[in-house]
């Protein structure tokens, strides 16, 4: 389809997209998703890792349809508007490791950049430290960019290869439809389900998938990215993406108040712990990893739906990171950080810095 | 001679970084920026506007956009 001006990429468009996501996320919570977790890309990919049995933390196992919708919505929008471009080959291993590190950092904090804003909008003061960590991590990433950091150029790939990630997602969706949860049972066919905890809290399939598809479409059109919001402000003084992030926060805050979901405080907030230092540090690592990889976890899903194989590798790195985080005791819980969470933050920080320093090169022109 | 920035195959923020760096280097004149996706085209557009550069032409060649940026 030949397009005219893309409304969603305008200043008004990005604000509308942010506000719509900010409205839909608390509604998903109302329909059953966990507290301040209407949408959380990191948490939901962690739940998917659990549903597939890659980790066996029995509180966080559910094949979240929102994530599937994000990729498929982006695939549909990019195909319709001539933006589906199979590409890849830009340092895939580095991107896999950045995805893995990002997930471990996010699970020390307990949330992705979207959930940082959603937790704040639900009144969770602990997320202030996560927000500060995210901004500081992205800032550290911009220092690498200023020094010439670059993961190299992508090359065009075949249509079939670009289709691979959407097809994997279709396969996941088929599993979710064929093996729905059996009440009281921890397993249905090959899929694991949670009987309590966040993994047991979910909106009905049609609502989750519908919202996921819709968000996938509008986010692909608008290039919505919360990491990019801070990066572009720091690097270029551009407010464009940040205006979308601010709209998400404002809309989620108002919606939470209207739905009676706004509970300001620090203690007893849903799926959160109160360690200021580790909330900051976890999100610092995640922010640095997202910056070095060129997108927040949501954006990586949308890019993977557009045929970007490197973004797909990042997503698979995140899912693997979730498995590592839970199997090795790195992930936090409301009781505090995991037994090896501190080591996890240090090792992943070292990996991010290694990737940063080993990819300082001047781009050839 | 027109200065060139080849941002094909690069993901954000590289196309904008390279374009801004070239703008800084030459101050005034003409730059041809080549990108291979719509997002980079929009980002370079926005960056040019914010720096007071005018987009004098956008040429689409197969999957690539050739943008001419000018500042007197």
- DSSP states of B21-57: HHHHHHSSEEEEEEESSHHHHHHHHHHHHHTT-EEEE
Q: Report CB contact under 8 Å: B13, A9.
A: no
B51 in reach of chain A (CB within 8 A): no
Per-residue tokens: A100: 């893995």
Positive or negative, the CA dihedral A227, A230, A235, A241 is positive
Handedness of CA A82, A227, A269, A176 (dihedral sign): positive
Closest CA to A321 of A33, A40, A50, A38: A50
- The distance of A340 to chain B (nearest Cα, Å) reads 34
Q: Is there a contact between B9 and A83 if contact means CB atoms under 8 Å apart?
A: no
**Domains, chain B, ordered by start:** 3-71 (3.30.110.40)
What angle do the packed helices A276-293 and A113-121 form, to 10 degrees? 140
**How far does Cα B17 stand from its chain's mean position?**
10
> Residues of A with CB below 8 A from B17's CB?
145, 235
The pLDDT value given to residue A2:
41
User: Is B52 touching A (CB cutoff 8 A)?
Assistant: no
A343 in contact with B at a CB cutoff of 8 Å? no
How many angstroms separate the CA atoms of A87 and A90, rounded? Answer: 9
Closest CA of chain A from B5, distance in Å: 6
A and B: number of Cβ contacts within 8 A:
56
Residue in B10, B20, B47 nearest the CB of A363? B10
Q: Which of B13, B17, B46 sits opposite A240 (nearest CB)?
A: B46
Cross-chain residue pair A223–B42, CB shorter than 8 Å: yes
Helical pair A92-109 and A276-293, crossing angle rounded to 10 deg: 160
CA geometry: angle at A337 spanning A195 and A101, to 5°?
95
Question: Considering just the CA atoms, what is the radius of gyration of chain A in Å?
Answer: 19
Determine, for residues B13 and A235 on separate chains, whether the beta-carbon distance falls below 8 Å. Answer: yes
Residue A1 confidence (pLDDT): 40
Q: Is A240 on the interface with B (CB under 8 A)?
A: yes
Q: Give chain A's residues under pLDDT 70.
A: 1-4, 362-365
* Consecutive H or E run containing A174: helix A164-178
- CB pair distance less than 8 Å for A236 and B50: yes
What's the pLDDT at B63? 86
Total Cβ atoms within 10 A of residue A35: 18
In whole numbers, what is the pLDDT of chain B averaged over residues?
93
Rounded CA gap, A120 and A300, in Å? 23
pLDDT in tens, A183-211: 999 999 999 999 999 999 999 999 999 99
Q: Is the peptide bond before B13 cis (omega within 30 degrees of 0)?
A: yes
Chain B residues whose beta carbon lies within 8 Å of the beta carbon of residue A85: 36-37, 63
Q: Give this prediction's pTM.
A: 0.96
Instruction: Give residue-wise pLDDT tens across range A75-85.
Output: 999 999 999 99
What is the domain partition of chain A in residue ranges? 8-357
Beta bridge partners of B5: B33
Of the partner residues B18, B42, B46, the one whose CB lies closest to the CB of residue A363 = B18
**Other beta carbons less than 10 A from residue A181's beta carbon:** 20
Tokens 């370079």 found at? B44
CB A41 within 8 A of CB A297: yes
């Amino acid at each position: 389809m030949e397009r005219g001006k893309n409304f969603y990429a305008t200043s008004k468009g990005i604000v509308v997209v942010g506000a719509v996501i900010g409205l839909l996320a608390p509604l998903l919570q109302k329909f059953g998703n966990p507290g301040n977790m209407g949408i959380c890309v990191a948490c939901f990919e962690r739940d998917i890792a659990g549903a597939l049995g890659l980790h066996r933390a029995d509180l966080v196992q559910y094949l979240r349809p929102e994530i599937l919708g994000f990729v498929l919505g982006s695939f549909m929008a990019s195909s319709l508007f001539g933006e589906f471009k199979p590409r890849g080959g830009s340092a895939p291993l580095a991107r896999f490791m950045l995805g893995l590190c990002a997930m471990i950092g996010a699970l020390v904090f307990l949330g992705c950049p979207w959930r940082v804003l959603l937790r704040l909008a639900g009144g969770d003061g602990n997320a202030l430290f996560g927000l500060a960590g995210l901004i500081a991590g992205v800032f550290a990433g911009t220092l690498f960019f200023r020094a010439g950091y670059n993961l190299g150029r992508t090359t065009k790939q075949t249509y079939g290869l670009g289709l691979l990630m959407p097809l994997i997602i279709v396969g996941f969706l088929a599993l979710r439809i064929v093996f729905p949860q059996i009440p009281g049972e921890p397993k249905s066919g090959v899929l694991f389900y949670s009987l309590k905890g966040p993994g047991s809290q979910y909106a009905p399939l049609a609502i989750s998938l519908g919202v996921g598809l819709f968000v996938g479409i509008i986010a692909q059109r608008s290039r919505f990215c919360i990491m990019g919001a801070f990066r572009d402000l720091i690097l270029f003084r551009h407010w464009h993406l940040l205006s979308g992030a601010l709209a998400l926060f404002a809309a989620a805050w108002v919606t939470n108040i209207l739905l009676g979901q706004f509970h300001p405080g620090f203690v007893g907030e849903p799926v959160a712990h109160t360690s200021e230092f580790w909330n900051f540090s976890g999100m610092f690592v995640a922010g640095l990893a997202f910056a070095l990889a060129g997108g927040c976890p949501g954006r990586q899903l949308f890019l993977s739906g557009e045929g970007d194989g490197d973004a797909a590798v990042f997503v698979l790195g995140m899912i693997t990171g979730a498995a590592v985080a839970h199997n090795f005791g790195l992930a936090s819980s409301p009781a505090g950080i995991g037994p090896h969470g501190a080591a996890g933050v240090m090792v992943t920080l070292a990996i991010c810095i290694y990737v940063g320093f080993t990819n300082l090169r001047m781009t050839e022109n | 001679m027109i200065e060139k920035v080849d941002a094909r195959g690069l993901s954000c923020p590289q196309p904008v970084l390279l374009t801004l760096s070239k703008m800084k280097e030459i101050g005034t004149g003409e730059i041809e920026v080549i990108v291979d996706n719509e997002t980079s085209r929009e980002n370079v557009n926005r960056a040019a506007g914010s720096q007071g550069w005018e987009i004098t032409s956008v040429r689409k060649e197969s999957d690539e956009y050739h943008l001419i940026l000018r500042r007197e």
